Structure 1
Amino acid sequence: MSGPGMTETTQIYDTIVIGGGFSGVCAARDVSDKGRSVLLLEAKARLGGRVGSAPFKNRSEMIELGGTWVAPKYHPFVARELERYNLELVQSHGGSLKTIWHFFGEPSSRIPVQGDDLFELERALYQIKKDAHRIDARVPRDQQDLADLDIPIAAYFDRIGVSGSSRAFLEMWVILGSGALLEEWSALSALSLIAAMDNSVYGWYGAVTEKFAIGTSGAIETMLKGSGVEVQLNTPVASVDQTGATVAVTTTSGQVFQARSLVLAAPLAVWTDITFNPPLSENKVTAARIGHPGRMKKIWMLVENMPDGLYASGLGTDFVQIFPEYTDGDKKIAVGFCPPPSTLDGNDLNAVTNALRQFVPDAKVLATDVLDYTSDPYLKGTWMVQPPGILSRYASSLIATEGRIAFAGADIAIRWLGWIDGALETGARAAQEVDSILTR
């Protein structure tokens, strides 16, 4: 398959992997472990996809610009990589914490739910846990009777009757977990993550406090080192054709690569930017076109006058959560999570200072470091949070092989949807599916 402006390689690989995040790297490595030839094509100038570690701007401290935290106790595929490569984890935002809550217009050290509202919060948490117990996190959601939970979280909170400060407290947590509005993502998606955490509402966040000592970029480099996988960066894919004797992959620059099988490990929302022959199934196309609402801004800040051990959370503020990760004398390097509907510009130091002062009145932001994943054409959003109506209809379709193509990515994980462990889960599964295709 060639034409004007195209260059076709003569080598036929066993497998081509499209996408160099954790899922694609895991799939490529696992297929290569079988002694097969693998080519990994990544559209961006670096590997990692929606994860990436680098020094803070003009400094030495290592920051994570995307996905970061893991909990090997609950993340079996992360635990597998830690054991294989003897990787170490370090504690994030640990030690003695100075907790600040900003609800209802002013900061306070007191948790925003007090008095009789605590009983309402307890009742709501009981119902949330009860609904989470209905979900088998090992099984695609469309294979379970869960459609009644696949509704907007706002509607779910209305259904369970939570209100006042109890509702505000829960809304803060689900906004932090999504980077989306309450009307935009599914209660089934949120409840699935609670189910994945052995049905612990608190554990969904409270138990996930560790990160790779060498950074996510270091972990990905370690997984590929010595694997035999051939990697080509800056190589966006335009089309995939599996009507011939091989799968032909054509890049936007006109290169044509051939393989006996393929793993698509690009983000779900990017699938419709690639032309497939024959076309992908209607369910895959529908879900890809809908995309997802996750658009959290992760803003790193060099700050003066920030208290030691700050752990701040708020609702109706620009930042839903802030905490420092490094201390340098009287300065801190802190990370803040800015969800919609805030329009805070992470590069505007005055605006970020004002946003931080909602929690710390004397703080001053000296520098910021931000990576915008939402406007990146090869990512199209932050971590996956499924909109209402997707999981209960299309979950099985999204992971099903089509011809000689297997599918991977945290966006279509069964257990840890949108998380690093989910990416590794799908990469390992896709590698097994490709092995079956090649064996046949």
Structure 2
Amino acid sequence: MARSYDTIVVGAGFAGLTAARELSRAGQSVLVLEARDRIGGRTWLDRRLGMELELGGTWVHWTQPHVWAELSRYGIGLAPSPVPENAYWWDGSSLVAGSADELLELLDEPNRVLTASSREVFPQPFRPLSTQVREVDSRSLADEIAALPISAERRALIESFWTLNFNGNIADAAFTQALRWVSLTNGDWKVNFEACATYKIAGGTRALAEAILQDTPADFVFGADVRDITQEQSSAVVTTVDGTEYSARDVILTVPLQTLTRIHFEPALPQPVSMAADHGQLGLGVKAWFTVEGEHRPFVALGGSDWPLNFFQSEYVRDGLTYVIGFGPDASALDPNDPEAVQRVLNRLVPDLRVTASVGHDWVGDKFSKETWPMHRTGYLSDSLPALQQPLGRIRLSGSDIADGWGGFIDGAIESGLKVAHAVLTASRLVSA
């Protein structure tokens, strides 16, 4: 007979941990089923290359209210990334070396023009569903960039910049996704970029995840890969791949959007939800960590938008080595654990550096994620998000993929976990009243 709980939370990333804490501390019996052997979801601090490195989500910022509140709650500080001094970039035809300030200046005007309407389209960024949004949600970011009255050099740079932000190809990228991001930092793209890649969590993402974990009396089962969710008259039954059954009045499903198709639902998910899962999203790229010989001054580099790695940022200097992060738009184009492949791309952009080792995790090939950070296609806000945020009988979806605000960030996951927990508690009180 299935063991029964008030609520089952599927997934122990930041959305799942937050929801479990809120519900359990409100007196509910809560079970968290996590397919992996760890907490954190698409964040993962692990010891690689002789250091604790973030293989997934990393950066936070004080413009992100939900994660900032959690850091304040648990007394966790920040660890700044180094301020880049040198920069290298591909102008569409040749390599250019200069300062980081010069590169930012080249990106400034086209980004300001591109995102000028962000506050108009998203006057309240945490309420992204509006008439203004629907009017522009079908427009692609690639088309908007192509229409900018800028030089070929700046066009190549801004295409690569937004390819970096999407961690994927921007041909079908939603223009609203770019506007939405920038609106969250009061229309300032530079502050938004700072939020993306400047401040890490002291002690790593694990420090915050473990703080939330220690704050909940919920039960946890690891290695629990969910196969089926069946809704019955008074409960829902969750079955894992080994045949174990659990039941609860409510189920909170925090898995990434592209993994919804791994689970069989009875009754089936509504068509708009299943279509969103089938359609997927665009964050299908790669993140690589690697070391190079020598202790180098902090640098950034921006390559071609279609390169296997189109962005580099040096992060640490230690024991005669410099640790560098690289991002690319297509996980199938580069194995981050192949230092020779990393070296070939690095040679095109930052000359005279020798890669000694490289490492990374294939988030797209990982069956429990199938994506990196969520970045959406045209039409997503209008056609998919409203359906994904609605109760699906006894099931509610949660996660950074469906956040109102900082979708694609730790903040969005926490926001979504808080909201869905509140909704479950409110509904349960109405039922018991």
TM-score by structure 1 length?
0.91
Over aligned residues, Cα RMSD in angstroms?
2.3
Is contact 2:227-2:240 (8 Å) kept?
Answer: yes
Deviation at 1:111, TM superposition (A): 7.4
Does structure 1 residue 195 correspond to structure 2 residue 183?
Answer: yes
Question: Take 1:372 and 1:340, find their aligned partners in 2: how far apart are those partners?
Answer: 11
**Partner of residue 194, structure 2:** 206
Does structure 1 residue 280 correspond to structure 2 residue 269?
Answer: yes
**Partner of residue 3, structure 1:** none
Is contact 1:346-1:368 (8 Å) kept?
Answer: yes
Code of the residue aligned with 1:34 in structure 2: it is A
Q: Pairwise mapping of residues 253-268 of structure 1 onto structure 2 (< 5 A)?
A: 253-268=242-257
**Partner of residue 224, structure 1:** 213
Gaps of 5+ in 2: none
Deviation at 1:207, TM superposition (A): 3.9
3-state SS of 1:146 partner: helix
Question: Take 2:243 and 2:237, find their aligned partners in 1: how far apart are those partners?
Answer: 12
Q: After superposing the two structures, state which structure 1 stretch, 282-291 or 395-404, moved more.
A: 395-404
Deviation at 1:218, TM superposition (A): 2.4
3-state SS of 1:302 partner: strand
**Partner of residue 370, structure 1:** 360
Deviation at 1:144, TM superposition (A): 4.2
Does structure 1 residue 414 correspond to structure 2 residue 401?
Answer: no
Is contact 1:300-1:335 (8 Å) kept?
Answer: yes
Code of the residue aligned with 1:87 in structure 2: it is I
**Partner of residue 418, structure 2:** 428
**Partner of residue 402, structure 1:** 392
Code of the residue aligned with 1:236 in structure 2: it is D
Deviation at 1:422, TM superposition (A): 0.5
Q: After superposing the two structures, state which structure 1 stretch, 217-226 or 104-113, moved more.
A: 104-113
Identify the match of residue 130 of structure 1 among 93, 109, 117.
117
Gaps of 5+ in 1: 1-7
Deviation at 1:80, TM superposition (A): 1.3
Is contact 1:101-1:110 (8 Å) kept?
Answer: no
Question: Take 1:32 and 1:143, find their aligned partners in 2: how far apart are those partners?
Answer: 38
Is contact 2:5-2:29 (8 Å) kept?
Answer: yes
Identity of aligned residues (%): 31
Is contact 2:293-2:353 (8 Å) kept?
Answer: yes
Question: Take 1:247 and 1:367, find their aligned partners in 2: how far apart are those partners?
Answer: 48
**Partner of residue 312, structure 1:** 301
TM-score by structure 2 length?
0.92
3-state SS of 1:228 partner: coil
Deviation at 1:226, TM superposition (A): 4.0
Is contact 1:154-1:183 (8 Å) kept?
Answer: yes
Change (3 A) 1:112 1:157: farther
Does structure 1 residue 84 correspond to structure 2 residue 106?
Answer: no
Code of the residue aligned with 1:227 in structure 2: it is T
3-state SS of 1:376 partner: coil
Identify the match of residue 169 of structure 1 among 157, 166, 172.
157
Code of the residue aligned with 1:395 in structure 2: it is L
3-state SS of 2:181 partner: helix
Is contact 1:235-1:252 (8 Å) kept?
Answer: yes
Does structure 1 residue 107 correspond to structure 2 residue 96?
Answer: yes
**Partner of residue 85, structure 2:** 97
Deviation at 1:142, TM superposition (A): 5.5
Q: Over residues 239-295 of structure 1, what are the superposed CA-to-partner deviations in whole Å (9 max), with x where a residue is unaligned?
A: 111223211111111011011111111111111221222222211111011111212
Deviation at 1:346, TM superposition (A): 1.9
Identify the match of residue 343 of structure 1 among 323, 327, 333.
333
Q: After superposing the two structures, state which structure 1 stretch, 136-145 or 417-426, moved more.
A: 136-145
Deviation at 1:389, TM superposition (A): 1.6
Question: Take 2:290 and 2:369, find their aligned partners in 1: how far apart are those partners?
Answer: 23
**Partner of residue 428, structure 2:** 438
Question: Take 1:48 and 1:413, find their aligned partners in 2: how far apart are those partners?
Answer: 17
